Amino acid sequence: GSVPSYASPPPFDASAGFSTAQQGAFLAAVAAIVRQEDPDAVILLPGLSGPDGWSRDWLQGVIAAAGTDWFDIVNYHDYGPWNDLLARHTDFVAWLGSVGLGAKPIWLTETGCSSDPSLSLRTDYPNSPEQQAADVFRRPLLAWGAGVPYVGWHTWIGGTNGSDPWRFYGLRLDDAARTPQPSLYSMQLLVSELLPFERVVRETADSSPLHRYRIERRDGSVRWVVWGSGTDTVPAGATAMTGVYSADGSFSWTAVSPGSPITATDVPVLLR
């Protein structure tokens, strides 16, 4: 069965009128009420807006005032470039350990990128529908391989207003037809081919520009995802390969032989 989880309100800075100590006291009091009503509840820390910077100051202030027992899971958002995501996460994990939170599970509750090349606020690959579709695979795999059990994509339906700083983040567009972006097809491919998994293993060094992940599914089958720069080889057991980007949702699988070369690009390929 499922265990209910409770997410606290997002953090806010002192300019809103409440110090971190006051916020910590409030959150701990609410958590106590939740646990009294539901002893099996799993309580998430408010979603940190990032793994570094002001979010760390906020969390330190909260736990200094309220301790760490009132919540079960740390969660944060990451909208920076995919190629630095693993380094940011690793640094965040080390910092959590330094403040006594090393034993808490970590969820990446929001991540994503825009498909609009004119929006370069958080990522500037440059952004495009293809890069957004690639991020649907790159971001979760980087996190899953680092031991993060839950990754949430932002967002399902995204605005298109030219002045919106979050425009074109959606898998679908906010129009009358709810037009799908190619990232929707990539998400459907990811769900159908990788989930549910038992284990995700990074098979290249963390510092390597070549990224290869082995996904061991719960049904016993295995998938691999490869991207980055350099040359890899088709792993033993793989017989078919497809790219993860499709403008119309049609993914063509081609036959491959173990040991054959794979020239990696920043758009992943999926093998089974």
Q: What pLDDT score does 17 carry?
A: 81
Domain membership of residue 241 (yes or no) is no
**Residues of the chain below pLDDT 50:** none
Domain membership of residue 187 (yes or no) is yes
Q: What pLDDT score does 10 carry?
A: 67
Domain membership of residue 91 (yes or no) is yes
Domain membership of residue 117 (yes or no) is yes
What CATH number does the domain containing 91 carry?
Answer: 3.20.20.80
Q: What pLDDT score does 1 carry?
A: 52
Domain membership of residue 220 (yes or no) is no
> Read out DSSP for the chain?
----EEEPPPP--GGGT--HHHHHHHHHHHHHHHHHH-TT-EEEPP-BS-SSTHHHHHHHHHHHHH-STT-SBEEEEE-S-GGGHHHHHHHHHHHHHHTT-TTS-EEEEEE---S-TT--SS--S---HHHHHHHHHHHHHHHHHTT---EEES-SEE---TT-TTTT-SSEESSTT-PBPHHHHHHHHHHHHH-SEEEEEE-S-TT-SEEEEEEEETTS-EEEEEEESEEEEPPTT--EEEES--SSS----EE--TT-EEEE-SS-EEE-
Express each pLDDT in 147-163 by its tens digit. Answer: 999 999 999 999 999 99
Range of the domain at 171: 5-196
Domain membership of residue 237 (yes or no) is no
Express each pLDDT in 55-79 by its tens digit. Answer: 999 999 999 999 999 999 999 999 9
- Total domains present in the chain: 1
Domain membership of residue 152 (yes or no) is yes
Domain membership of residue 150 (yes or no) is yes
